[in-house]
Structure formats: C-alpha cells, structure tokens
Structure 1
C-alpha cells in the first residue's frame, strides 16, 4: 500500500511538471519577438500546415506591378488554377515555351502569374518569381473549368474586372491564356495606335474590321481613359447578356463602345497570333499559338505539345542550316 502511494505521487509529480513545462513553452512561443504564431504549428487532419493565409489585401499588387513592368509600364499576365498549374500541365509548357522561343526568355521578368486558388499560388511560387493570389470568396476555381459552366463564367468575369483594375493603376497589359505557347515577341504585331488589340479565332485579313470574331485569350490594352471606360462598360454589359462570357459580350458591344468611347480596336492576324481554330502553322511567322477550338485539359495539352515539338524541330533545322552555312563559308 505504501509503495502504491509512493508510485502515485511520482506519476502525479511527473504529469504536473510536464504540464507546467508545456505551458511555459507555449507562453514562450506566444511572446516570441520574431512574431512566431502558434498557427504555424497547427495540424489539420494529421498534416502540418505552415502557410499563412494569403488575401488580396495582404499582398502588395502595386509593388508587383512595378517590379514586372517594362520601361513603358506594360506587364504580361496569365491566370492559373490548380488544374492548370499542376506539374507537367499547362503552366509548365507555357513557361518552357519562353525558354525555347526566339529571344523571348527575357520577357518572363515582365510576367505576373495570377493564381485563382491557394494550391495554384503555392505552385506558382515554386516556378516563377512574380505571383499574385486573386482570391474570390465562395467560389472554388481549383478544378478544371469547363467552358461556359457557372464557375467558368465567374472566373472569366473576375479576370475581366482584374484587368480593368490594372489599367486603372496606370499599367498597360498583355494578357495571355496559359494554354498559349510563345515562339517570338508578339508585341511587334501590336499597333502603337491600338487602344485594344485582341486575337481572333478566324481572321478575315483586315485588322481594323470589327467583323472579326474576338478571342479574349490573348488581349492587349493600354492604360488610357478611353480604354478604361470601354472596360468598365464591357463589365457592366454582363447584366444585359446573362449567361454569356466576356468574349461573346465583347463581340456584342465592340461596335457601339468603340464608337462611344473612341477606342481603336486591332484584331491580330492568325498568321502571327495563331491557334487551332485557324491553324496556319508557318513557324517562320508565328509568335504564339493558342489551344483554342479544343475542349478539355487533356485535349489541349496533347495537341499543344505536338505543336511545341514541331516548333523545336523547326528551330533545330534552322540551327543545322546555319551551322552548315558557316562551315561552308569557313572553307
């Protein structure tokens, strides 16, 4: 009986000491001058989480824009979600195209990748220097967004509103879908006189003809009062055309608003800003190639990779010809 009481006292003393030590340790962490938080040591379903919550207000968008901008205040932007940003998915192919393109690798320093969900944002930070988390409350944009479905439309219109905010902050932008691969500098195909330059699924030969069907996946806009008014009213027009995406509504309003706000719109030649809808595939001219007229991530990736392989073969042939010519001249 005496031994049992003694053992019990030992156990109680040990537990009391452990409790006091733990309490002291937690108190130490909460008062750490480096600002460490107990949230950094939280566990969720057995998985340690150490990434603080990121919101639009906690990020410095003006600083990111300043970091990315060219000398004339222009940025390049693309938008990703978890599905598009996954390893070996569209984002990897998109970025690789800048490295294998014709003297366009330097353009990556002007690229802002806008993530629509947290996992896409985390992946972006692993592969690129300038990432922005555009969080939308109550909507999950992480999965593959099927064309014209409810969340797809929300994503497209949120993207449109974000583009307008970039213009209002005094920056021009060139927006490119992530299912576009780059071969050459497309800025050379954009007229200095254009307020808006936009790709076209089928180009009729006249860049000034508003009859060209627009594709908002490749879109340039300069920061001017005329362009901002156009974008603002373009966004508001979604209420007049419910269930339509921003691209369809652009085609509905382009004549009225280009006249009303005196904005010059240029439609880009598919010989240079190409895609599967009008596949001219002259690699001596192409600047970009879009996986338009393809439905689903799997289809886009497969067909875009084939185009990318054709481009690399074309480049290799040019290099072989150049080496052969230099060798002949040397002899």
Structure 2
C-alpha cells in the first residue's frame, strides 16, 4: 500500500514537471514577444545610428563675413542610407544600446565631398581675423603693404598675376610680397587670392556687389572707393602703418628709401609740379603711404566727414579739396606728394629706368588697354635688366606710345 502511494505521488510530480517544460517550449517557439515591445534593432532604425563622419565642414558664421567660423548645420543623410547602416550593425551584433543612449548621440553628417557647392557658397578657406592677418604680414615696424581686388581684376592672367610677377622681377622687391595684404572685395576674388597668395582678407559690404569691372564714377564705383578709404582708417586705428598700392601698379624697386622717417601722409601724383609739399600737385590715391598715429587717424576722420560737403565726388577729389583748403591745425597731419620721376604712371613718368620705382596704369580707361600697356612695360623692364646684367649701359626706355602710355 505504501509503495503504491509513493508511486502515485512520484508520477504526479513527473507529470507536473513535464507540463511546465512543455508550456515553456511552446512559448519560446511561438510568434515572439508582444508587438508592444519591438526588438532593439527596430528602435535603432527609428532613432538613427550615432556615427559622425570626420569630414565635418567648417564655414563662416554668416556666409564668410569674416567673423569666427562655426560648424555648419548637420546635413542628415538619406533615410535609405541610415537604414542600410543600421541593418548592417544589427547583423554584426553592434546594433544594441539603450534608446536613451541612441537619442543622446548625433546624427550622421554627410562628408564634404557629397555636399554640392553652389555659386553663392562661401570661399573654401575660412576668413581670418583682420588684426591677426596684419600682425603676421607686418614688417618689424608694423607696416603692411596693401592692395585691393575684385573678381574682374583678380582673374587668372589679369592684374593680380601681373602685379605679383613684377615683385619677382624687381630689384630687391621679392621679399616685400611677404608683407602684402590683399583685400578682396567679393567672394570670387577672395578664392582667387587664396590660390596665389598667403595673406587675403575678404572685405564684405552687405547689399553691394563689387565683383564686376567698376567703371570710373559709375555704378558702385563711388561707394567702393569710399568704403576702401574707411577700411584704410581701420588699419591705422589698429596701430598699423600701410603703403597702399593699386593692383594696376608694377613694382620695380622698394619705395621705402624714398619715404622720409617723419612722413605722415604721402600720396602719388598724376602730375608732379616739382615740390612735394605743394597743394598744386595732382593727387592720385593709387599709391598712398600713411603712418599710424593719432594725427593721421584725425586726418582720415576729417577726410571722411568732408564727403558730405562734396556730394557725388570720389575720395581723391575730396582729398585734393581739403589739401588745397589747408589741413585744419587741430588735425596735425602733414601731406606730401611723390615725384613721378620715381613713382610714375601713364599720365607722367620718368624715362630713366635706373631710377624708376613703380609704374601706374593711370590716365587709361578699360581693363584691356591697361593690361596691354602694363605687359609691355614689364617686358621692357625685363629687357632693361638683361642688358644691365650683360654690362650694356646704353640708354633704354619704355616703348611709347602704347594704347595709353605716352
């Protein structure tokens, strides 16, 4: 009897065990977890993979305005690309992680090579701080050479190339390029400058386009010249002296030996009357040296404020008027003019190539005419140097007349 009862209890226990095992196996082989709890890979597909490519673009804060750069807004890759990456991660066993962790991670950023550039895209090289550029470009006495270009003047084979080439062929001028700041008036000129020169600054003027050829006293020419004048004042206010040169000037020798140590404001002339202090000289702002001081900053303030008295006139005209009127005593700056025998142009130039320092394509209308004559001038200079190097000291001068030079 006892054995029979024991057998019945053992059988019941075994039956219970088998029933529990059967129930567990059926649940595991069923349709899977409830639909309210999707698998982790599904969460990953909805939230997006948290990978950031190394090629994150850096652009200027306001389309290259010259302010410190920031990281560009993330461009999310197409959903198909994200799903492919997530599914691959799931198959390889790396698609896990909590939903909260995935939400805290960043979305995919497209590589720069996949982002299409548009004509209005900012230049590839980031704008640099003006003060830092000046510090890097300046001579030990905090003087910079400076020129200004727009797209039309910076195009390959145009003025910028010819301008820089003249420094390479001049006497003792090649090192001066290391102190040259090129001010670009538009984005394309900035890009072109960065391709050929070390120190480039994009001078943006909101709502104005200076890219095309600016005809004298037409279109945006007037505003461009006055904006450039105010920019020069900024250089002085930052504590740097400058020697500004138009880009249609060829450089053959260093101008600094011809500038007195106490020079304050020194401007070139279309026509020189023989006296560097005479207000009767015909000023040309294409070559302008200004030493940084409180007096010269006040001179620029007086120059700028005088514009209102001569509406519709460019800065060179106003300069001539205020010099002829006499610089007010409280300003304290003195003005001098450069001799065209050294600093000549197509209006008036010296014929002795042993004395020439610069040659300006002034008194000439049209880019093609200027370029034609400047190329001949540079070729004449190269021929002169070859003759001197060969010991031939016979008289040699410019080919005249040209389209403008005479």
Structure-2-length-normalised TM-score: 0.69
Q: 1:228 to 1:31 in 2, by over 3 A?
A: same
- 1:243 is matched with 312
**Matches of 2:120 and 2:248, distance apart in 1:** 33
2:353 corresponds to which of 276, 283, 304: 283
- The 2-side partners of 1:48 and 1:80 are apart by 19
Q: CA offsets, 1:249-288, max 9 Å, x none?
A: 1001114452432211110000101100003232100100
The alpha-carbon deviation at position 239 of structure 1 amounts to 1.5
Out of 9, 14, 28, the position equivalent to 2:51 is 28
Distance 1:22 1:215, change over 3 A: farther
Q: 1:212 to 1:52 in 2, by over 3 A?
A: same
CA contact 2:123–2:191 (8 Å) conserved in 1: no
Q: Which residue matches 1:178?
A: 247
Any unmatched runs of 5+ in structure 1?
A: 1-16, 324-331
- Name stretches of at least 5 consecutive residues in structure 2 with no aligned partner: 1-40, 58-70, 76-109, 394-406
Asked if the contact 1:42–1:48 (Cα under 8 Å) also holds between the matched residues in 2, the reply is no
Distance 1:319 1:31 in 2: 55
**Offset from partner CA, 1:174-228 (integer Å, 9 cap, x none):** 0000000000001111122221000000001111111111000000001111110
Correspondence 1:146 to 2:215 = yes
- Which has the higher Rg, Structure 1 or Structure 2? 2
Q: Name the residue aligned to 1:292.
A: 362
How many angstroms apart in 1 are the aligned matches of 2:342 and 2:270?
12
Paired residues of 1:193 and 1:264 also in contact (CA < 8 A): no
8 Å CA contact 1:115–1:134 kept in 2: the answer is yes
Give the Cα–Cα distance (whole angstroms) in 2 for the partners of residues 130 and 99 of structure 1.
17
Distance in 1 separating the partners of 2:240 and 2:310:
29
- State the 1:322 CA deviation: 7.6
Count residues with an aligned counterpart: 300
The answer (yes or no) to whether the contact 1:80–1:178 under 8 Å persists in 2 is: yes
Pairwise CA RMSD = 2.7
Distance change (3 Å), C-alpha of 1:22 and 1:145: farther
Higher relative contact order (CA 8 A, sep 6+): 1
Question: In structure 1, how many angstroms separate the alpha carbons of the residues matched to 2:335 and 2:353?
Answer: 26
